[in-house]
Structure 1
Amino acid sequence: MKKVYLALLFTFFLLFTASAQQKQTFAIKDGNFLLDGKPFQIHSGEMHYSRIPQPYWRHRLQMMKAMGLNAVATYVFWNYHEVSPGVWDFKTGNKNLAEYIKIAQEEGLFVILRPGPYVCAEWEFGGYPWFLQNVPNMVIRGNNAAYLAATKAYFSELYNQVKDLQITKGGPIIMVQGENEFGSYVAQRKDIALADHKKYSAAVFQQLKDIGFEVPFFTSDGSWLFEGGALPGALPTANGESDIKKLKEVVNKFNNGEGPYMVAEFYPGWLDHWAEPFPTQTPEETVRQTQKYLDNQVSFNYYMVHGGTNFGFTSGANYDKEHDIQPDMTSYDYDAPISEAGWATPKYNALREILKTDKTPNVPARTPVITIPNITLTTAVDLADLKSKITPVIEDNPLTFEQLNQGDGYVWYSKKFTQPISGKLELKGLRDYAIVYVNGKKVAELNRYYKKYDCEIEVPFNATLDIVVENMGRINYGSQINDNNKGIVSPVIINGETITGDWKMYQLPMAVAPDLMSYKNTAKPNRPTLYQGSFNLTKTGDTFLDMRDWGKGIVFINGINIGRYWSVGPQQTLYLPGCWLKKGKNTIVIFEQKNETIQKVIKTILTPILEDLKPEKGQ
């Protein structure tokens, strides 16, 4: 009995000691970040849980730790968790935010939480749920009751997931961001008074405080945008600021004349759009700037240290006057130190050399990479066959995705003509990409990126006009964020005449992989087509689907949408994580929108192709 008592006492002592060792404090005081009362320099990297398969979270966090970092920053994506109005998911697969934070702590990393509600991040709608646009009187990112009620509900759900993971409760969360890059929005929306902007940002910030967050807060803006973005009670940090003197001057101006000083977004690479060159930055440039921060006691967060992938329909789009929309690629590689597939790059190795200490762990091994023998596609089905089993919505005028209560994917608009008509077809409100057919024959491709909104058309007697429209991602940055409906959002005009009456709309959200088992092979060139095949594996590993022979579409592997492809590049491969493959039988489904030739196989390769730009013909 005495031995049992002593064993229990010893166990209690170990648990008490471990608890005491884990309990830490973090504060912003006297111009410093203070960890357990001592000055602390944050060496952080941005990495988003939603862009990495859950089974790979630990490996990627270990990669960060081995690079010499002490913290990970992540946005929280509101629309990733509120899957439909009032329905929340913080537990399934990649959505398990709390688990991600716990793994970070287990790997010795602090966590910087960036909850938005707006996140930008080249993410669909900047993180907002698409259905907010259907709420009466809702003004996104504005000081109005409907919007603030929605943000409060979101913050409350989020807080319930992470409240016990703050450093004050023994967790790894050391800071929380108030709003995000709001100074940029203020500069873009000069039609709104600064005082009204400030009322909004103050209200959202107050919500974060009221629900219970008790760790220090910060804001994140370009150094010239603090006037619009800084918040009283939050440390201002400067995105992308390389000039140490300027950084300190602007922080001092908005933070009572003192630091600490931090660049919350230090860019070692840059974001990527379809149909545009892949931007890169040399390791030497990134190392040189990092050393400046180290030498001047400036904390920093690499955005991104590891970008990952915009799986499914999660990629957003930028807006500019030249293109109207700049859709973001599936790959979010970002030319980051850790590649899309989790590999150490030359940039990673160079940064590790100046960041590591004698306690920095070794770099973990790569996930195995495999090639798969050519996958035979045994089924090829015209999309019209699936459409024929869908009950259409019929209205006098085309409806938007939002009016159809659909967020992502495609809508097939169809109109039967009893009289012939010819002339210019105008779709000024196309959002975002369409292929036009008359009596089943392809007539034109219309494309918001290239500002191609019209074409010549001839519709004979008793003919059908079909317009298959794709949502390529809602705008995530800029003043156009409040103009984010998808589909056909304006009248359809032919030869100056508005076409009304009995428009049929077939919804194709592609939320799950279509089951083609009961369909016959009906595919024809220049018709939207669904392909299906299967392949067997004796071992699994990461690989890259080679999409160079394909046009435009999406790919499902074992029911998982791994993202969009588009022949314009510069991305010509799709990253296929090995953790989503299995020994034995695997299935692949491809929706090919253009289908210029009938495809028989799909290939894989060992390395990604992210810099092969091939503009559309005629553009």
Structure 2
Amino acid sequence: MRFFFILQIAGLLLFGQAGKAQPKHQFALGGSDFLLDGKPFQMISGEMHYPRVPREAWRARMKMAKAMGLNTIGTYVFWNLHEPQKGKFDFSGNNDVAEFVKIAREEGLWVILRPSPYVCAEWEFGGYPYWLQNEKGLVVRSKEAKYLKEYETYIKEVGKQLAPLQVNHGGNILMVQIENEYGSYGNDKEYLAVNQRLFKEAGFDGLLYTCDPPEAIENGHLPGLLSAINGIDNPAKVKKLISENHDGKGPFYIAEWYPAWFDWWGTKHHTVPAESYTGRLDSVLSAGISINMYMFHGGTTRGFMNGANYNDTHPFEPQISSYDYDAPLDEAGNATPKFMLFRSVIAKHLPAGQTLPAVPVAKPSMAVPGIKLNQSVGLLNILPKPVLNKTPLTFEDLNQDYGFVLYRSTLTGGREGLLKLNELRDYAVIMVNGKRVGVLDRRHNQDSLRLVLPSGRVKLDILVENLGRINFGPYLLHNKKGITQRVLFNGKEVYNWAMYSLPFSKVSGITYTAKKVDDIPVVRKGIFNLKAAADTYLDMSHWGKGVAWVNGHSLGRYWSVGPQQTLYVPAEWLKTGSNEIVVFELLKPQKTMDALDKPILDQLQ
């Protein structure tokens, strides 16, 4: 209790007394250092994204950040979370970014804010809301008028939430980033200046900065703003590149330092040995350079919010649900060996008289064997009212953001032929008279399937999944989903489609049966009872492909191709007594599943 009281007093001294006006700090750029209230300040920051961590766990993760030696947290702000439909804003629940920042302050952490509004981040559409594509002529990351109008509306709403929390207003936001690695995309300084103006008009009147990789820093910096650098950690190179683009001065800030990497479906799990980076971290800190680790804690990309990479030389690469990232703090928020090694390095660079708090003990985890999913319903039995059109409509045409669309038409049977879907985006289950006859996968450039049709009128169903919009590169402007062009059978266009929107944004209200259901795709539900709640991991390795929910919370996508074979279930979303699990399975439904006490993130099938 005495220790807790001392921590409370320390927090009050740092950020002012609760309930009273917070003291305003000065955060400024010195010739070679950041200056906090006139004194040199070295940021030792780690990236952590509020939507990738359950709100109930934000504070615990921040305590872990302090225990590793971080004094700052970096986070993006995600436009598509906060304005999911045009003009409808949401800063509640897990989207309450202001509360995230306030908790950081209570835990003695400063914040680097990155509203951008383009974020990349292995996030759906790089953070842009899908509906921007419905604004005719709108061009993201440009001076195009419609884009700037929507951008301005969004950033002013963000400003209402977060501008009062800047350090010069008594808060803990030290700096705010405009755009995001823009130099890798373009070189329009007028566009960057518009960004600066919009941020200032939204109330962000403190320090603004840009960040770019070395090869793009000249394109992406805006004269007068600090140019931070991403992806290198040689102290001499960092100082040279930043000073060349900042009037020969510092401070020197690595805005994204990568001691790890992310994964995508069908490729091996990426790991980076901590030992390869401890010396680099030591040299950067010894040189007085400020740093932001991307990621300190990745967490989980739940729902349908993963992005994808794609360019002319690489296939479509949708990212997995786990954002473990091989980061110092694992997906569940526990310290890894990388965490402990980095902590030892940071401890060497603490100001005189400071020591690190003890590392919180690992969270308990549990196995739950033999969960029965004994209620089911076939997808074709729960279809909503369709939209009818002569030709297929995209997700965007249907005003649908994520999830699935079922396209239905009829063909004259008694023949064989090639079914071709021009520009399928992204994954399709093909059914004839309700039975699966094949799948098409954009990752493998598959767009055609040979069909043998029975006699009579044949019902053709094509269930299309949006696997995540591209989040990086020039193809941001080519991100519509579904069947985006024509459907051909034997070279002739197929017309007269019924389209059923299946966003699966929630799974309440579905009516199940306990009778045997052999239909595929299928939704299955089960109940499992717990005497106590702890973290666990659903083992989906025997299933095929789909999405799962526990107690109404989306756990994200699973796919047997790997490398991810489990879905993380946070203890915060479980309860003693009865818990509900729902699985929407496209290919290979099972009637039982196990939950494990450890994740499987490194198995390809």
User: TM range, normalised to the smaller chain?
Assistant: over 0.9
Q: CA deviation digits over 1:431-478, x for unaligned, max 9?
A: 000011111222211000111111111234311111110001111111
Which residue is equivalent to 1:339? 330
Question: Aligned equivalents of 2:192 and 2:478: distance in 1?
Answer: 20
Give the letter for the 1:112 counterpart: I
Secondary structure of the 1:354 match is helix
Q: Deviations over 1:401-460 (max 9, x none)?
A: 000110111001111124555322111311000011111222211000111111111234
Q: Is 1:360 aligned with 2:333?
A: no
The answer to whether the 8 A contact 1:221-1:237 is kept is yes
Q: CA deviation at 1:242?
A: 2.3
Counterpart of 1:535 in 2: which secondary structure? strand
Partner of 1:546: 539
1:384 equivalent in structure 2: 380
Contact 1:380 1:529 in 2 (8 A): yes
Q: Which amino acid aligns with 1:575?
A: Y
Matches within 5 A, 1:139-178: 139-178=139-178
1:453–1:58 distance in 2 versus 1, CA, 3 Å: same
**Contact 2:33 2:40 (8 Å CA) reproduced:** yes
Tell me the residue number matched to 1:211: 202
Tell me which amino acid in the other structure corresponds to 1:231. L
CA offsets 1:7-49 (integer angstroms, 9 cap, x no match): xxxxxx9998897995422111223200110111111000001
Give the TM-score normalised by structure 1. Answer: 0.92
* C-alpha contact 1:402 1:485 (8 A) present in aligned 2: yes
- Output aligned runs, 1:307-456, within 5 Å: 307-356=298-347, 357=350, 358-387=354-383, 390-418=384-412, 420-456=414-450
Output aligned runs, 1:263-342, within 5 Å.
263-342=254-333
Instruction: Name the counterpart of 2:55.
Output: 54
- Residue aligned with 1:374, SS: strand
Q: Distance in 2 between matches of 1:507 and 1:305?
A: 37
Matched residue SS, 2:268: coil
Which position in structure 2 is the counterpart of 1:476? 471
Q: Per-residue displacement from partner, 1:480-508 (whole Å, max 9, x unpaired)?
A: 001110000010112211212x2111111
- Indicate yes or no: 2:105 matched with 1:105: yes
Q: Pick the aligned partner of 2:212 from 221, 229, 235.
A: 221
Residues in 2 aligned to 1:444 and 1:288: alpha-carbon distance in whole angstroms: 51
Residue aligning to 1:530: 523
Query: Following the alignment from structure 2 to structure 1, what is the Cα–Cα distance between the partners of residues 14 and 583?
Result: 55
CA-CA distance at 1:323 after TM superposition = 4.9
- Higher deviation after alignment, 315-324 or 212-221: 315-324
Query: Is 2:307–2:469's contact at 8 Å kept on the other side of the alignment?
Result: yes
Selected match of 2:573 from 574, 580, 583: 580
Task: Check the 8 A contact 2:377/2:512 in 1, yes or no.
Answer: no
Aligned pair count reads 586
Is residue 514–residue 589 contact of structure 1 (8 Å, CA) maintained in 2?
Answer: no
The 2-side partners of 1:69 and 1:14 are apart by 16
The SS at the match of 1:84 is coil
Kindly indicate whether the alpha-carbon contact (under 8 Å) linking 1:317 and 1:328 is maintained by their aligned counterparts in 2: yes
Query: Is the 1:176–1:217 Cα contact (8 Å) retained in structure 2?
Result: yes
Q: Which amino acid aligns with 1:259?
A: G
Deviation at 1:309, TM superposition (A): 0.3
User: 1:564 matched to which residue of 2?
Assistant: 557
Q: Following the alignment from structure 2 to structure 1, what is the Cα–Cα distance between the partners of residues 205 and 14?
A: 29
Give, as a single letter, the amino acid of the residue that structure 2 aligns with 1:98.
A
Cα 1:161–1:222 change in 2 (3 A) is same
Q: Is the 8 A contact 2:15 2:22 kept in 1?
A: no
**Cα distance in 1 between the residues matched to 2:192 and 2:493:** 42
The whole-number CA distance in structure 1 between the counterparts of 2:234 and 2:502 is 49
- Contact conserved, 1:179 with 1:205, CA < 8 A, in 2? no
CA contact (8 A) 1:459 1:465 kept: no
Distance in 2 between the 1:394 and 1:43 partners? 55
Instruction: Provide closer, same or farther for how the CA distance between residues 170 and 244 of structure 1 changes in structure 2, counting only shifts above 3 A.
Output: same
Q: Which shifted more, 558-567 or 491-500?
A: 491-500
Q: 1:485 corresponds to which residue?
A: 480
CA separation of 1:254/1:534 partners in 2, compared to 1, >3 Å: closer, same or farther? same
1:246 and 2:237 matched: yes
Query: Residue in 2 aligned with 1:190?
Result: none
Structure 2 residue matching 1:289: 3-state secondary structure: helix
Residues 437 and 290 of structure 1: CA distance in aligned 2, closer, same or farther (over 3 Å): same
Q: Which residue of 2 aligns with 1:508?
A: 502
CA change 1:301–1:94 in 2 (3 A) is: same
**AA paired with 1:65?**
K
State the SS of the aligned residue for 1:286: helix
Q: Give the CA RMSD over aligned residues.
A: 1.9
TM superposition shift of 1:125: 0.7
C-alpha separation in 2, matches of 1:14 and 1:562: 37
Q: Deviations over 1:581-615 (max 9, x none)?
A: 111211111000012xx52211100111111112x
Equivalent residues of 1:439, 1:464 under 8 A apart: yes
One-letter code aligned to 1:438? V
CA distance in 1, matches of 2:216, 2:22: 41
- What is the CA distance between 1:126 and its match in structure 2? 0.5
User: Which stretches in structure 2 are left out of the alignment for 5+ residues?
Assistant: 1-12
State the match for 1:126 in structure 2.
126
Please list, as runs of the form range in 1=range in 2, the aligned pairs for 1:33-44 lying within 5 A after superposition. Answer: 33-44=34-45
Distance, in Å, in 2 between the alignment partners of 1:504 and 1:352 is: 57
Distance in 2 between residues matched to 1:155 and 1:318, nearest whole Å: 26
Q: Pick closer, same or farther for the CA change 1:554–1:16 going to 2, 3 Å.
A: closer
CA distance in 2, matches of 1:368, 1:576: 12
Aligned partner of 1:528: which letter?
P
Q: Distance in 1 between matches of 2:236 and 2:105?
A: 34
Moved more, 368-377 or 249-258: 368-377
TM-score, structure 2 as length reference? 0.94
- The verdict on how the C-alpha distance between 1:420 and 1:16 changes in structure 2, with shifts beyond 3 A counting, is closer
The DSSP-based 3-state class of the residue aligned with 1:73 is: strand
Contact 2:374 2:514 in 1 (8 A): no
Given that residues 377 and 511 in structure 2 are in contact (C-alpha distance below 8 angstroms), is that contact kept between their aligned partners in structure 1?
no
Residue 521 of structure 1: how far off its partner (Å): 3.6
> What is aligned with 1:189?
none
Identity %: 46
Kept in 1, the 8 Å contact 2:71–2:109? The answer is yes
What is the CA–CA distance in structure 2 between the aligned matches of 1:125 and 1:15, rounded to whole Å? 36
Deviates more, 1:359-368 or 1:397-406: 359-368
**Corresponding residue number in structure 1 for 2:600:** 609
User: Within 2, Cα distance between the matches of 1:521 and 1:237?
Assistant: 60
Equivalent position amino acid for 2:142 in 1: G
The CA deviation string for residues 49-78 of structure 1, in whole angstroms up to 9 with x for no partner, is 110000100010010010001100000001
**Distance (Å, rounded) in 1 between the aligned partners of 2:232 and 2:16:** 44
1:156 and 1:211 in contact (8 A); partners too: yes
